[in-house]
Structure 1
Amino acid sequence: MRMPWVHPDGPGRYEHEARMNIPSSRANATCSVEGGSGKATPIPLASSALQGSSVEDMTGTGTDKRSYSISEVVALTGLTAHTLRWYERIGLMPHVDRSHTGQRRFRDRDLDWLAFVGKLRLTGMPVADMVRYAELLREGESTFEERQELLEATRRDVISRIAELHDTLAVLDHKIEFYAGARRAPERHSVR
């Protein structure tokens, strides 16, 4: 099994199509990326991040050979170049490799990490907590318990928000039924 390298979350290898946090409308899209041969090769983009992969390799010691420019990562993730640079600056991403000309060269492990960060963002986790999680990850196995506690707290928040959204949905459904019934009522009277 290949395990992704996901930044601030750890060691492993990668499964490119399973790590991207891409809207479902783009789930079956492809992006053309120039590989080492100089030829553009399509890369499938999937809608679910990290299926069957781990986000625990912050060391960057994997055998990842494919690299992506910042514009390719923008196209693959939907994030802006500014956001990618900001993530690196605040410590949310580990150091991104550079080319001999100084340009950022992202690896599959970076894409794994960005997919994981995207999922954390969707939970509503504050950026400071995401950065803390990344720091803990870089500190190694001795922080497993603290990382678990951080994720469990976030999970509790998500469950609470889901319950609130279910209640909100019930209110909306009630109002929609009310308006649908109000529209039908005049039709019944005019048919007579």
Structure 2
Amino acid sequence: MDAVPVRTQDCTPLERERRRRPEGRERYTIGEVADYAGLSAHTLRWYERIGLMPHVDRSHTGQRRYTNRDLDWLDLVGKLRLTGMPVADMVRYAQLVREGDHTLVERERLLRRHREEVRQRIAELQGTLGVLDYKIDIYGARIRASEGA
């Protein structure tokens, strides 16, 4: 998958702490990945089942063994989730990535469309934040006036 690693400066201090990978490790258990990604093992298995995280390697005993590349992919999926991207779109994106470079135009189109939706939601939230700020200012002024009376 063509996951772009999430830079640590893009993360909160809590995320940076959670995202620390053991030095010198290239394989991780499902429990370690669940802790790293802040997801349950059940969710990771579900991601695999729906095609969002296919081709997870297995040990000779059948246990999942995740790679650093898998962790990078989960970082990207986590960011897409935060933007509110529907699971179906994330699965479609993963499918396009697996299909290869001939899908670059469609991948870009999918991400551009979603980026526009995110920008619209941000604008709505900024308007809502303005209303909250206005109400807080009114209440603060009334509180200060009543304390001074």
State the shift of 1:103 in Å: 0.3
Q: Which residue of 2 aligns with 1:25?
A: 14
Q: Which residue of 2 aligns with 1:38?
A: none
TM-score by length of 2: 0.89
Please give the secondary structure, in 2, of the residue aligned with 1:110: helix
Which of 135, 142, 146 aligns to 1:182? It is 142
State the shift of 1:18 in Å: 3.5
Q: Which residue of 1 aligns with 2:41?
A: 81
- Give yes or no for contact 1:68–1:107 (8 Å, CA) kept in 2: yes
Instruction: Give the Cα separation in 2 of the matches to 1:102 and 1:131.
Output: 24
Per-residue CA shift, 1:19-68, capped at 9, x if unaligned? 7x9653242467574xxxxxxx5x8xxxxxxxxxxxxxxxxxxxxx7100
Q: Which residue of 2 aligns with 1:95?
A: 55
Instruction: Give the Cα separation in 2 of the matches to 1:31 and 1:141.
Output: 31
C-alpha root-mean-square deviation of aligned residues, in Å?
2.4
Call closer, same or farther: CA 1:145–1:76 in 2, change over 3 Å. same
Structure with higher strand content: 1
Number of equivalent positions: 148
TM-score by length of 1: 0.70
- Give yes or no for contact 1:123–1:158 (8 Å, CA) kept in 2: yes
Alignment of 1:1-192 (within 5 A): 7=1, 10=2, 18=7, 24-28=13-17, 33=22, 41=23, 66-189=26-149
Call closer, same or farther: CA 1:168–1:73 in 2, change over 3 Å. same
What stretches of structure 1 of length at least 5 have no aligned partner? 1-6, 34-40, 44-64
Instruction: Give the Cα separation in 2 of the matches to 1:131 and 1:150.
Output: 12
Call closer, same or farther: CA 1:141–1:85 in 2, change over 3 Å. same
Call closer, same or farther: CA 1:130–1:32 in 2, change over 3 Å. closer
Instruction: Give the Cα separation in 1 of the matches to 2:62 and 2:119.
Output: 43
Structure with higher helix content: 2
Instruction: Give the Cα separation in 2 of the matches to 1:23 and 1:89.
Output: 30
Percent of aligned positions that are identical = 55
